[in-house]
Amino acid sequence: MSNIPAANSGPVRYRVVHETHYTYQFPVTLSQQYLHLTPRSFAYQQTESQAIWVDPQQEHLLDALDYFGNHTRNITITESHKELLVHAESTVLLHPRPGLGQIKGSMPWEALAQMLQQIRNPATLEAVRYLYDSPHIQCGSALAHYARDSFSPGRPLLDAALDLTQRIFDDFEFDDTATEISTPLAEVLKGRRGVCQDFAQLMIGCLRSLGLSARYVSGYILTHPPAGQPRMIGADASHAWVSVFCPQLGWVDFDPTNRCLVQTEHITLGWGRDFSDVTPLRGVVLGGGEQELQVRVTVIPASEELAINSPAVHA
């Protein structure tokens, strides 16, 4: 796990490859899939290129924006198949974010909580949608109690958020067998184990339980191979972290899984209230029986000359 990074001095370019491979017990005669696989462009990130290949090829395709402004793609496959491959490739340019020095001196967290209650305040109108319960995040006294060790009276908002980020990392253990997508936050808080999705939603629940706006961010993180070892293709994974609303700086991102203030090693796919709003791929199939799923993700700095072959199918 990484320590808190210093602000990067310049932009960084990455290539991201995300492959999702389903194998079915019986033929699938109809597949309809909803994709969040196009990285989002915003102040700190520019998506320079993006392509998605599907095998078997889709018969119908619709690109759109969801309620939160994320790029989506709906595909329909009518060809009978026992395997489905969705292969997405992107090139993104990340720009420097506010560093530790820049997040100091934010407003007291209680003042923001009061401001967010003023529904007609134009400065907070967009943030209010991330203030309340959502399908996977239910606020409550237990989450508020855990958060208050970081959010002491009068403490600056972002200083407290960073402390909460560090405490979750210290208090919880990464364990990819401990939870499922549907595991309630109360069980995560009690068991003190989980994965990045759990830690992100736990932190969001803590913040919302104090009356603060926080959103769930889905994307990728650059991983570092052991010294002297080459980067392994397909060995990375999807990632999740937290974005906290601050009127002075906008949205500031924290990663409780890695105990850090997000800088230029996190690539954003999209954001929403929780995991259910920005799942990379979900859908329904007719037929198929039991299924097996394999996901391969590779994040490559542009400075590394690595060749990755694209599948011989076309969008």
Per residue in 234-293, pLDDT (tens digit) is: 678 899 999 999 999 999 999 999 999 999 999 999 999 999 999 999 999 999 999 999
Closest-CA residue to 18 (of 269, 255, 274)? 269
- Strands of 79-210 (E only): list them: 81-94, 173-174, 193-194
Give pLDDT, residue 25. Answer: 98
Does the domain at 12-94+279-301 match CATH 3.40.1480.10? Answer given as no
| Residues 87-129: tens digit of each pLDDT | 999 999 999 999 999 999 999 999 999 999 987 788 788 999 9
CA 106 to chain centre: 24
CB 106 within 8 A of CB 248: yes
> Are the CB atoms for 17 and 88 separated by under 8 Å?
yes
Proportion of the chain above pLDDT 70, given as a percent:
92
pTM here? Answer: 0.92
- Percent of the chain residues past pLDDT 90, beyond the cut: 84
The token pair that represents 213 in the structure block? 């706006």
Asked whether the bond before 56 is cis by omega within 30 degrees of 0, the reply is: yes
Could you check whether the bond before residue 27 is cis, i.e. omega within 30 degrees of 0?
A: no
Write out pLDDT tens, residues 192-227: 999 999 999 999 999 999 999 999 999 999 998 888
At residue 4, does pLDDT exceed 80?
Answer: no
Distance, CA of 28 to CA of 82 (rounded, Å): 6
Q: What pLDDT sits at residue 309?
A: 45
> Is domain 100-277 classified as CATH 3.10.620.30?
yes
pLDDT digits (tens, 9 = 90+) for 126-155: 999 999 999 999 999 999 999 999 999 999
Token couple for 310: 């694209």
Name the segment(s) of the chain with CATH classification 2.60.40.2250: 12-94+279-301
What is the predicted pLDDT for the residue at 215? 98
Beta strands 193-194; 173-174: pairing state: parallel
> For the chain, where do the domains classified as CATH 3.10.620.30 start and end?
100-277
Nearest partner of 123 among 107, 138, 134, 105, judged by Cα: 107
pLDDT at 86 over 80: yes
Tell me the two tokens of residue 261: 């203030």
**Under 8 Å between Cβ of 71 and 40:** yes
